[in-house]
Amino acid sequence: MHPSIQKLYDLAGQKSRKIIGLMSGTSMDGLDIALCEITGAGIQTKVKLLHFTTVAYDKHMKDQISTVFSKSMVSLEQLTLLNPWIALQHASMINEALAKFGVSNSAIDIIASHGQTIYHAPKSLHPNDEFGPATLQIGDGDHLAVHTNIITISDFRQKHIAAGGEGAPLAVYGDYLLCANPDENRLLLNIGGIANYTYLPAGCKLSEVFSTDTGPGNTMMDAFMRIHFNQEYDKDGIIAKQGVVNVDLLNKMKQNSFFQVGLPKTIGPELFNILFIEEAIKNANITNITPSDIMATLNRLTAETIVDAIYMHVPVNDKFKIYTSGGGMHNNLLIEHLHSLMPNVEIISSIEIGIHPDAKEAILFAVLANECIAGSPMYVGGNATKIPITMGKISFPN
Ligand SMILES: Nc1ncnc2c1ncn2[C@@H]1O[C@H](COP(=O)(O)OP(=O)(O)O)[C@@H](O)[C@H]1O
Ligand SMILES: [Mg+2]
């Protein structure tokens, strides 16, 4: 028997596994590395976060990814070269992080790699009826496995699409396994480049779980900050706080058909980008607006569209708590907007239910890898796949 098959077989029977979850989302800010000890599988899953770090992408890495990121036309050669290159960068980040944690590579059972999202193409975004929804994450799993000497599970989103979904949001699986509660209606809100939520009614069955993207999280604010303020993001919402919301611009942006169609739905920076802002300004006939007013409006747009999407699904009279995660939860102004739009809803960090909010997405991919090895296929209701699935492709170091 192949030694890695034997290892996987043994791992599946073990009480717990050490799994590194990796996340690098549409914000392109860095690689989140979450070393988890995962005990059990399925509804019995328990996660202990042993170590966590985010390795910031340097300018060179961002520039390289930007050459292909969410562009409909790119150099095929560049894309082909980046696929292994990104994996090699991630492999060295993991090797260095493990050395820093004082943990040897041989102590790790599995790497769960999300990969770098390059293009997300839900059906709503491409006009060709011949093709279904599609999404592309690069940073090849075989390269990661060989260069870390750790079995790697990667490219989770393809199975979701193959089974009838749109490849996102995948957080729903781990959210259900780790966060469902018998007594409390919980809404897990992640504000990354794109914002998404999972709604878990108290004591819910898998078929009652609901998950959707809501629209922009930080992605347009970040894009605008880079161009007009030469900064990567609006730290603590400071710039947006200096501006005034332009209601005409806000309304024009909210008229986009993405916000009108029903849930669940997914989206990416392929729609929500600088062009989206410029066209909305033009179409609203706005000639006199300051960059900080635009930031104030983008911040408000994120908040309002999150709340709109929540109440498209959650009955207004339901009492629920919101647990936040992702970089956007550190944007004070955005959180203030959410509080003022939902004055009767408690909005708190996911740390209150034991999940490090910056590590959450990486942890959720570790959980998906754990399911791939030791769990069984799951069907999540309301979230598009037609059959129960586990996700991920397995790469051996040799
Ligand atoms: N202190 C902060 N103030 C405002 N925004 C922040 C802060 N910290 C992080 N962010 C935002 O969070 C983003 C990163 O969020 P993250 O959850 O890593 O998203 P992704 O999954 O898309 O990588 C940054 O690009 C930035 O917009
Ligand atoms: Mg990130």
Q: How confident is residue 124, by pLDDT bands cut at 50, 70 and 90?
A: confident
pLDDT in tens, 24-72: 989 999 999 999 999 999 999 999 999 999 999 999 999 999 999 999 9
Ligand 1 centre from 272 Cα, in Å?
16
Q: Which of 218, 217, 220 is nearest to 235 (CA)?
A: 218
- Residue 368 Cα distances to 53, 96, 115, 156, 236, angstroms: 20, 24, 14, 8, 32
Q: What mean pLDDT do residues 102-113 have?
A: 98
Full-model pTM: 0.96
Tell me which residue of 282, 329, 275 sits closest to 303, measured CA to CA. Answer: 329
Token pair belonging to 193: 């480049």
Whole-number percent of the chain with pLDDT over 90: 94
- Best substitution site from 118, 219, 233, 336 to test ligand 1's pocket, by max atoms within 8 Å of Cβ? 233
What residues are paired with 245 via a beta bridge? none
Q: Which residue has the tokens 């780790």?
A: 178
pLDDT at 383 over 70: no
Rounded Cα gap, residues 188 and 379, in angstroms? 19
291 alpha-carbon distance from chain centroid: 28
| DSSP state at residue 398 | -
Which pLDDT score, from 0 to 100, does residue 207 have?
Answer: 85
Whole-number Å distance between alpha carbons of 138 and 155:
8
What's the rounded Cα separation, in Å, for the pair 120 and 60? 23
Residues of the chain with CATH 3.30.420.40: 3-170+357-395, 181-353
pLDDT digits (tens, 9 = 90+) for 138-171: 999 999 999 999 999 999 999 999 999 999 999 9
H or E element, residue 98: helix 76-101
With 0-12 CB in 10 A as exposed, 13-18 as middle and 19+ as buried, what is 287?
A: exposed
Question: How many CA atoms lie within 13 Å of 264's alpha carbon, on the beta-carbon side?
Answer: 24
CA 88 to chain centroid, in Å, comes to 22
Q: Which residues line ligand 1 (CB under 6 A)?
A: 25-27, 29, 192-193, 218, 222, 233-237, 326-328, 330-331, 361
- Taking CA atoms, 144 is separated from 2, 28, 150, 169, 370, in Å, by 19, 19, 8, 24, 18
For residue 223, pLDDT over 60 is answered with yes
pLDDT tens, residue by residue, 64-93: 999 999 999 999 999 999 999 999 999 999
Whether residue 382 is predicted with pLDDT greater than 70 in this model: the reply is: no
Q: Which ligand is located closest to the Cα atom of residue 361?
A: 1
Token duo for residue 119: 């293009």
CB contact set of 286 (below 8 Å; sequence gap of 6+): 246, 248, 249
Q: Tell me the C-alpha distance between 93 and 332, whole Å.
A: 30
Question: Into which CATH architecture does domain 3-170+357-395 fall?
Answer: 2-Layer Sandwich (3.30)
Q: What is the mean pLDDT of residues 221-237?
A: 98
* Distance, CA of 18 to chain centre: 22
Ligand 1 atom with the shortest distance to the CA of 26: 22
Nearest ligand, CA of residue 365? 1
Mean pLDDT in residue range 367-386: 89
> Which alpha helices (H) appear in 169-273, and where do they start and end?
171-179, 219-229, 238-242, 247-254, 257-260
- The torsion angles phi and psi of 271, rounded to 5 degrees, stand at -100, -50
Fold of the 181-353 domain: Nucleotidyltransferase; domain 5 (3.30.420)
Mean pLDDT calculated for residue range 14-26 = 97
Q: At what angle do helices 247-254 and 274-283 cross, to 10 degrees?
A: 110
pLDDT for the residue numbered 380? 82
Burial (0-12, 13-18, 19+ Cβ within 10 Å), 272: buried
Q: Which atom of ligand 1 is nearest to the CA of 54?
A: 18
Mean pLDDT of 333-343: 98
Is pLDDT of 384 > 80? Answer: no
Average pLDDT of span 234-257: 98
State in Å: Cα 8 to ligand 1 middle. Answer: 35
How high does pLDDT run on average in the chain? 96
Measured CA to CA in angstroms, residue 355 lies from 175, 244, 287, 390 at distances of 10, 35, 45, 22
Amino acid in the structure at residue 306: I
Of 213, 13, 217, 24, give the one whose Cα is nearest residue 122: 213
